[in-house]
Structure 1
Amino acid sequence: MPFRDGHRPVLELSRPVKEPRAAVLLLHGGREFGTAAPPAWNLPGVRLRLFERAIRRSTSRDAVLMARVRYRVRGWNGERADAARDAQRALDELELLTGGAPTVLVGHSMGARAALRAAGSPLVRGVVGLAPWCPAGEPVAHLRGRRVVLLHGDQDRTTDPRSSQDFTARAGAAGAEAATVLMRGGDHAMLRRAAAWHDLTGRAVAGLLGITDLPPVIAERFSPSG
């Protein structure tokens, strides 16, 4: 059902909560270019749902709403940055449901880039980026006061783990708490050592929401905020 402004919702609830104290928004990967709508069943979305299960377990004792972004088109599409626009729209919709509850964004590849772009929203407490797409020159100033965790496989041949390290260094200099953790033997699809990816992501989200302490492997890497 469209809103009055003609936009269709891009938020899909996966764990509704009547009175949420926090929220998690998931953004799956996509393509550099592509203006066709994503199919209802797509591999990037399926892959991220395995991470969703881990996050459900790590937040099971708290009133944490979980939702997914439903992209209008499959690609980033250059300056259009369609996925980032959808991420912001989803946050606007989420605010109406939660009343402004603190939110952690979890994105893979293009979805991580969209999450990082949208993280300037007052709702966002932190971001977990999985094998993120972080081109040189991506903006970081809006991340001041946010906590950013990037997990990147050291064998990724699709996105460069060095770009994640550069991004968190720049974000830290801009006033974020930011860390990159290299996943030994990890690839872009996050299929190698998948259990380690899932476990660390679930614990990172719970830590960013203040449900538990951050995993030491993340906490010890955080660059101090300015």
Structure 2
Amino acid sequence: MSKYTLKIKLLSDTTFGRGDGVAGLVDQEVEHDRYGFPYLRGRTLKGLLSEECDNLIAVLPEDSQRQHWQEIANRLFGVPGSSLDTQAKIHVGDACLPDDLRASIAAQLDSEQDKKRRNPKYKPALTSTDILESLTTIRRQTAIDPEDGAPMEHSLRSARIILRELPFESKLLFEPELNKDSEDDKDMLALLAVGTLALRRIGSGRNRGRGHVQCSLHDSSNEITKDMNYIDHFGRIK
């Protein structure tokens, strides 16, 4: 099994929306785990990468190039209704904050909850709500009437956003293991590299100024997206 890491740095405030809100608090809540750490689902990230790769393939100048690289994309990401022979070769994990940070804080939260269970009157010094609120904030906006420039009635909405500059990481697994001497596997890694570089917007509101990100792809020792051999390889056909 080949393992790679997709690193995401938030360049602007971002919302990893989960499709609902919290009554009386926010209309749009971010996806977060039981410790309060926000994250982006791997399934969503995989869809975003696949979309960027499709966009890059669509602008290739030759039909033969587009056909070749679309076949590579299908092998990499799979196609609807895939069988065992045509399923995606890549598994995309959830994009989370760095493991060491989450492990350290999770241990402290578990300790506080254990004290609370042993003594119901104990007030925890740290809660999951504290973690969520330290990494996010709530933004409010309203629609404006184009005729008089006044806020429209009943249009006030609130959304939780993840603060910029936070780093997220997603584990990418290839099964079976990639063979870098195989032309097809080289093609898949090249396509994944350019798709990673092309991914600039993620999350809810990505077409309205939120979710500007910088992404990079890494193996165990190198940054793939800085290796021009992979970048130059994209677009070629045999």
Instruction: Determine if the TM-score, normalized by the shorter chain, exceeds 0.5.
Output: no
TM-score w.r.t. structure 2 length?
Answer: 0.24
TM-score w.r.t. structure 1 length?
Answer: 0.25
Instruction: Tell which structure's C-alpha radius of gyration is larger.
Output: 2
Task: Considering Cα pairs closer than 8 Å and 6+ residues apart, tell me whether 1 or 2 has the greater RCO.
Answer: 2
